[in-house]
Structure 1
């Protein structure tokens, strides 16, 4: 029983799918967010099927957002339009507010399963990918050219191939344009006044007597940066959970940190839970630790401590005054460095882009088409100045230290037991007792070098060329309306990441030691870094990434036969794809010598696949009582991969559409989908990532888990016996872990069920309503061993408790202090290790009516359009480790380190648009339901005996958020249009939490800009 409780407690440390599964989202059943997309009377191809049909009705719900809605939302990047829809959110690492390295991209995440599990298309064809993740950067999508966006959530691998686990986003581009159109738009946020400028120029025209058309469009975007310091109302401070003095305020420094899930909490210990100002233990004046505390068995060392004024020295070590002449014990949080102000809240972006679309009718039955794309994106991240906190060698007679402190170093040197190796980047040095060198963990924030800057410059080129046309009919009743499409696409993405204001570990170590009897170059005690030291240790690093994708496809669609209930539509085809990626870090990054940015090893590889696919749409019954129509559909795809772990795989789907009467349609579908591992997951070199986690062998773990069995396991895995469960084992709340690829990975497999009803009553023209249930299960989720660093530790020490297990073997520690710290990092490689499951109901309604009145100055009549789209989330379950299928993180309605982005039960948008003459006014309400921290929800739902009380958690509930947006569109002249508005009209600040990835909130979910005004104009010639 005890082991089972411990097993459940594993999941408190973080879901292994945190990097994979993003916030849950909703799905609309029909044109979304008030989109006025008319159901075409002619046959069109709707995303989710290759068979042409009339209108947007399909077995799987399709959300459609047109150009008008994109414009009224005021977003110049399509990423933000998608994040505001119920069925999609911005990725935690792929949005303008992530400030991550590497970063500089924008992606889309359907259903919360991660951006790598949905597919992005342009005109029904795969678009350019970036990096080893093989994901489309939405910064390369020309927002102004989008005619509409069609979104299908739920597996679509049978129709489109791998990666369509949770669905497809298909951007339909305006590719038949005549004239000249210029558009300009500026967005300005109210708190800082930082502008975003977007300019577009589109030129198009027919040629060859109307047989051809060519469109060329250019775009320039300049997005200004906003730092956390500029949004001080919630983002300035680095906040921690703590016990505050009553009445001291929510961000007081008058408090002490605590672990909410352990100990007596705040109430029993005095004070109340709240936020306290915190930060990093690596501070500008230096913090020197990893040495015995005062009062130990070494009397000579205690005497030296006392002489240096360190009689109160504890596990956090000591620091200096500004002059570097006097030392004292380091304190927390008083001495901690505030990481907040220097970091970007919104990353700057500068983009140049050109797109060209052309087609030419060679004959009435043969049309050639061409798509060209080139873009140059530059996006920067800015982080707090570089810190180094690793074992460091010092001369015991360092001239910058006082005589008493030199005495401390001398005693530390004499107290060494045997040879100690100190690794600094590319160099390893040894020290022995009495050799004049002492080892101390030197934790310093090198503010003199300046904030870390990471600038990503990415060039993307794509060409798509093909032939399409009509083949006519094989006979009068068989093989009619045959159409073909043959195309080839090639894309290449080249990215360079320039990392500035980093440090060289090896150069720093060399600069701290005497060379030939001269004084060390660097004095890091206090604030004494001079230009000579800065020049000696500061470096610039870089890496480059090249990703290519080739696709060749041929397909044939048409009517096989005429059945009594209608035409039997079909589609057949074959496809070949090849994706390859090459990631090359420079010597600093590749060797691990860089400090300030995560190191990494070269990655290269390719994935190739050959496929055949087919689809049927079969009308079964029509025009009989209680069956106005009954139609079945099915599809299959066989994929042969050049990967040993995947090989040949089948995907398939089947569904029904039943209209008992003309006004009502019932629909349902089952889909089997797969995702083959990408190049990064297969062949990625080991990459060191520093992140937040708790070491069970330190004082940061849950006190109830500090058993003798855990103690013995800590000793067996490298913690000195006298330091187990001490604060010195983990002085900071972060430590490094090495992640890397596995060429033996298998495919991920998902099963999706959808079922719903669509009502379009004839007695209420203009009214539409739909409700759809969805259920998606993903098995074999690819993630690091155990899920993440926290789970690897918990599985080792709290669950399996076997030093020989793969989880314990992944642990490396500093033999002197027991710390997991550079160069001793967790070794966590990829595996098919987990399971994801989500379910819920999507609700969509819209109504359009002529009001019958107007205003003489504007128009004689007016129209009201109402649209609402909501999702109720029933389940969002994460099984971190498949070996323990009963241990599930039930995340619906929660947020935090286990579940990631907030997953509210209810989420949706409602828009009302009033149009009179050439003027349209639109009011939109966005709603995000309340969520509760997963530190409480997850163990509670698991029935854990260690579930903390809500009263011991600082601000455990994030309240519901209401955002109101107002916009207008005015066409005073035939060729001139003016539009604008204000988003987050009432300046709703985001809820504050220490459990978000940055900025003290979840910037990918909540609005962080305050009121954002936008104004734009379109001029046509």
Structure 2
């Protein structure tokens, strides 16, 4: 990695990301971190986002990348500073690239590692220079567009536990033509990544783990312990146990779980039902209901009966990618150069999940022949005690029942193993082209508008993604198949394991498809040069016009759009466009030069006015102001202020309502921390529809995931942010080869576009533990079953987009390099040692879910968990030491992720509330993690280079957590989940 601290004293001006002005042999005023081609090779990079996400400026993206076994998915994005992938801008050669869908982000899968010259990462809002989306910064991929020759490279990567390979083959051809006036480069790239399931990985990944009280002797880092019962009035520790990991699983099980019946002897029951329950052996069944052992019904137990979702799920999702890139330019003369960029890629990324479940209230014939006579009597008693007409909706089917009509209502949670694993194949085709002309127009006069350069181009990009899904079930067909048709036995027998026949599975199984398309058009006209002279030098300027048009559409099939599906998330169609016209300008003025304590003092400024065709946005200004003061060749100070905006994307504006499921904790359930199971919360739970007897019981939340319905809002306005940076660059003349940059940054975002309350878990928390008002909009967004209190269909928790929240972060980036030589070496010529490090200290990361309630904040720095999400350590860094001697290169890299503490403890503590005791939480602290990687490169004769290495030399497992996990019992987008990984590659140049 090459730090931005290294000074550039070149004769020719160089354009560095963060400004459209060519810098003249000095460090840019905006911090820029550079990752070069050497780092790509030594880290064994095959997917670019994997390397960048290891850098400290980035936070893992849970639903993107190789560990994202989620639908929708299949993309790889970058989450700069933890603000989300939609809030940083991705460029290729300084131009916008293809958008991947309705969220307007760029799929980094479309960036070929073999063609990369370097990657430049700019901190802070750059909307004045580049337009919307650059809230947290810009990532600019610089391609080799002037290659001459033939290069073939290949690489294999595999993990030590399963030996699952990833192969890449890259061919790059380029050369000059027309006596050197033109150059053409063509690159062809192939990648094939194998899949790893959690069952294949084993160890920490095999089980579905959650928090629980276990005996100390049985506690393990990666296996469920033996549950320890806690007597009433005692804590886990007081009962002789400790908080640890238990098998969490799902309460919807292969034998079926049946619930919603009054408990034996309760006030909700009656003598006839009590007698029927006793005869059926269900007198001890509780809120969790009952299941079957063969034909015999018995009370359902947890965790004994819970279904382990882990083994079938992908830990690493498979990917096959073909890609072609072309860069051509031709110099007609010094004033006109024509150029063309073209890209096509085909990505197929698959996801696999455990078999689907169906959960809800259904009608059953009281004389169902698949049941024993005792169970038929239970249903007959349920039918008799009905109190009037009752409607039930499942998918597209609505039906009703009345007392004594031969139909009984029963809650059913069934895992449909007979339908098979859920499988989604996401195929994404991306086409993008940009063509234009550029050149030098010379001088308008000797004193004004000199060395004028222009660039005029048009780009068009189109992405189409098709998700093909199998393993789902139709809710309406399921409901129909449970009932007798024309006096025949119901097709579906859900009472016991392996009871569903092939005909029954075929009757309910469905395949589904959705298609997403996105198009982006950009026209840019740019003029730059020297405006006039000041005593200290010329004033550089840049000005231009930009037009952009983004259009996206999401089209689900009828199963998905109607909601008649269980297995993959239902969704409504989405479609719309966003267009903007912009004018912009940028200037840099030298104030002092070549004076004592002022070798150089420059100020710079930029503006952009954007006119959107959105009623919630209209016309907006962005601007920046900065300075760069070089005392001498050893010390330079720099500072920048930037006001940036992000206009809403198509999904945020026009997204149809869709149902998503995510891990969350219902404060009214037994999964809520014991410290939060208060009288006040109980009262709220009852006021929002949880039966008194069910509050804090297991039946309120039988599964770790909860449904959430979200949707777009065409009136959403723009997000706004202010970024401040101040730093110093040290290149001491008395230590040749040393360059260090230290930069403080502060980014504050207002009007963050987000679902109500900032998300599912936040909405639940706001309802029950923060605002604590049953009449609040947050409590009214929650739909519950009136019999069990469970958050249930059809709406679950409803949120809608709004400019609702705020995010603020600040910290310090340290970026350094030291190079020195020695005479020692295995080969002639001595040795060169390169020491490089990029570290970030995050001082603050604060989320304000609802800015109308500014005192309610989530102080998430140094935290992880259901509210704060991915771990946000205070310290994160990457360091590398490289030894080069003749043809040999050896390099050791250290990746460090700092200590984090669970937000369930930190958030109430920092808010001045009562925090639960650490010992009452499972894995409350994740200690700092070091991952060491060793790599080599060796240059053979005939332009052949071999390279390879070992990542995670110590084969360290990721930290294992329980209920606070994101997936696979850990935070897979942050920590290494594969263990020790090997890679070996070769490159040949002709």
TM-score of the pair, normalised by structure 1: 0.94
Q: Which one of 445, 450, 455 corresponds to residue 420 of structure 2? A: 450
My pick for the range that moved more, 1001-1010 or 166-175, is: 1001-1010
- Could you tell me how far apart the structure 1 residues matched to 2:667 and 2:753 are? 25
* Per-residue Cα deviation, 1:67-125 (whole angstroms, up to 9, x for no partner): 11101110100011101111123311111101111100101111111110000000000
Partner of 1:9: none
C-alpha distance in 2, partners of 1:161/1:263?
A: 59
Instruction: Pick from 189, 196, 212 the counterpart of residue 182 of structure 2.
Output: 212
Counterpart in 1 of 2:447? Answer: 477
Distance 1:695 1:893, change over 3 A: closer
1:879 aligns with 2:838: no
Aligned counterparts, 1:463-542, within 5 A: 463-526=433-496, 527-542=498-513
Query: Are 1:944 and 2:913 counterparts?
Result: yes
Structure 2 residue matching 1:252: 3-state secondary structure: coil
Query: Could you tell me how far 1:519 is from its partner in structure 2?
Result: 0.6
Report Cα offsets for 1:224-251 as digits up to 9, x if no partner.
0011112212110100111001201323
Match of 2:924 in 1: 956
User: What is the count of residue pairs matched by the alignment?
Assistant: 984
Which residues of 2 match residues 364-513 of structure 1 at below 5 A? 364-513=334-483
Give how far 1:788 is off: 1.6
Alpha-carbon shift at residue 160 of structure 1 (Å): 0.4
Structure 1: runs of 5+ lacking an equivalent = 1-27
Give 1:916's aligned residue.
Answer: 885
CA distance, structure 2, for counterparts of residue 790 and residue 108 of structure 1: 23
* SS of the residue 2:869 aligns to: coil
CA apart distance, 1:30: 3.0
1:817-854 per-position Cα deviation (integer Å, ceiling 9, x unaligned): 33321224221111111111111111122111121233
- In structure 2, relative to structure 1, the CA distance for the partners of 1:957 and 1:721 (3 Å cut) is closer
2:58 to 77, 85, 88: 88
1:728-739 correspondence runs (5 A):
728-739=699-710
* Cα distance between partner residues in 1 of 2:956 and 2:7: 31
> What is the DSSP-based 3-state SS (H/G/I as helix, E as strand, rest coil) of the residue aligned with 1:83?
helix
Matched ranges for 1:42-81 at <5 A: 42-55=12-25, 57-81=27-51
Instruction: Choose 844-853 or 346-355, whichever is displaced more.
Output: 844-853
Contact 2:59–2:870 (CA under 8 A) maintained in structure 1: no
How far off is 1:930 after superposition? 1.2
Provide the C-alpha distance between the structure 2 equivalents of 1:680 and 1:925, rounded to a whole number of angstroms.
39
Give per-residue Cα distances to partners, 1:743-766, cap 9 Å, x unaligned: 111111111111011010111111
**1:1003 to 2:976 alignment:** no
Q: CA deviation at 1:420?
A: 1.6
What is the rounded CA distance, in whole Å, between the counterparts of 2:885 and 2:695 in structure 1?
73
Q: Cα 1:265–1:885, aligned 2, differ >3 Å: closer, same or farther?
A: farther
SS in 2 for 1:601: coil
Question: Contact 1:237–1:339 at 8 Å: present in 2 too?
Answer: yes
User: Which of residues 503, 521, 543 in structure 2 aligns to 1:550?
Assistant: 521
> RCO higher in 1 or 2 (8 Å CA, sep ≥ 6)?
1
Mapped partners of 1:140, 1:410: distance in 2: 60
Distance 2:743 2:48 in 1: 26
Q: What's 1:771 paired with?
A: 742
Q: Deviations over 1:583-618 (max 9, x none)?
A: 000000000011011100000010111001000111
2-structure distance, mates of 1:256, 1:588: 44
The 5 Å alignment of 1:832-871 reads 832-855=803-826, 858-871=827-840
Q: Partner of 2:277 in structure 1?
A: 305
Cα drift, residue 800 of structure 1: 4.2
2:644 matches 1:676: no
| Partners of 1:225 and 1:344 within 8 A in 2 | yes
Q: 1:864-883 CA distances to partner (integer Å, 9 max, x unpaired)? A: 11111111111111111112
Give the conservation status (yes or no) of the 8 Å contact 1:56–1:62.
no
C-alpha distance in 1 between matches for 2:626 and 2:491: 73
- Quickly say closer, same or farther: Cα 1:797–1:922, change in 2 above 3 A: closer
Provide the residue aligned with 1:5 in structure 2: none
Q: Deviations over 1:107-150 (max 9, x none)?
A: 11111111100000000000001111110000011110000101
Which residue is 1:613 aligned to?
A: 584
Q: CA deviation at 1:1011?
A: 1.1
Within 5 Å, which residues of 2 pair with 1:699-848?
A: 699-701=670-672, 714=685, 717-720=688-691, 723-848=694-819
Measured in 1, the distance between the counterparts of 2:59 and 2:672 equals 33
Contact in 2 for aligned 1:967/1:980 (Cα 8 Å): yes
* Alpha-carbon distance between aligned partners in 1 of 2:316 and 2:747, rounded to the nearest angstrom: 33
CA contact (8 A) 1:901 1:996 kept: no
What is the match of residue 549 of structure 2?
578
Indicate the residue corresponding to 1:971 in structure 2. 939
Deviation digits for residues 36-89 of structure 1 (CA, Å, limit 9, x no counterpart): 997644111100000001356111110111111101110100011101111123
Within a 5 Å distance, the mapping from 1:108-123 to structure 2 comes to 108-123=78-93
In structure 2, relative to structure 1, the CA distance for the partners of 1:711 and 1:84 (3 Å cut) is: closer
Note the aligned Cα RMSD (angstroms).
1.9
Instruction: Indicate the SS of the match to 2:200.
Output: helix
The partner residue of 2:216 within 241, 246, 254 is 246
Q: Deviations over 1:732-783 (max 9, x none)?
A: 3332121000111111111111101101011111111111111111111111
**Separation of aligned partners in 2, 1:86 and 1:859:** 37
Residue 306 (structure 1) shift: 0.5
Matched, 1:935 2:904: yes
State the partner residue of 1:651.
Answer: 622
How many angstroms apart in 2 are the aligned matches of 1:624 and 1:407?
99
Deviations 1:972-994 (A, max 9, x none): 12421111111111111111112
- Do the aligned partners of 2:3 and 2:817 also contact (CA within 8 Å) in 1? no
CA, structure 1 residues 74+307, in 2 after alignment: closer, same or farther (shift >3 Å)?
same
* 1:991 alignment partner in structure 2: 959
Local SS of the residue matching 1:590: helix
Change (3 A) 1:579 1:614: same
Distance 2:693 2:888 in 1: 76
What's the CA shift for 1:707? 6.6
Cα gap change, 1:919/1:359 in structure 2, threshold over 3 Å: closer, same or farther?
same
Q: 1:727 to 1:978 in 2, by over 3 A?
A: closer
Distance 1:258 1:364 in 2: 83
Greater shift, 295-304 or 501-510, is seen at 295-304
Would the aligned equivalents of 1:582 and 1:603 in 2 still touch at CA under 8 Å?
Answer: yes
Going from structure 1 to structure 2, the CA distance change for 1:895 and 1:584 (only over 3 Å counts) comes to same
Q: 1:186 to 1:997 in 2, by over 3 A?
A: same
C-alpha deviation, 1:729, in angstroms: 3.3
Q: Distance in 2 between matches of 1:988 and 1:242?
A: 25
Residues 449 and 532, structure 2, Cα contact 8 Å, conserved in 1: yes
Q: Residues 258, 379 of structure 1: CA spacing in aligned structure 2 closer, same or farther, 3 A cutoff? A: farther
Separation (CA, whole Å) in 2 of partners of 1:190 and 1:711: 50
1:623 and 2:591 correspond: no
Confirm or deny: 8 A CA contact 1:699 1:726 kept in the other structure: yes
**Which residue number in structure 1 is paired with residue 72 of structure 2?**
102
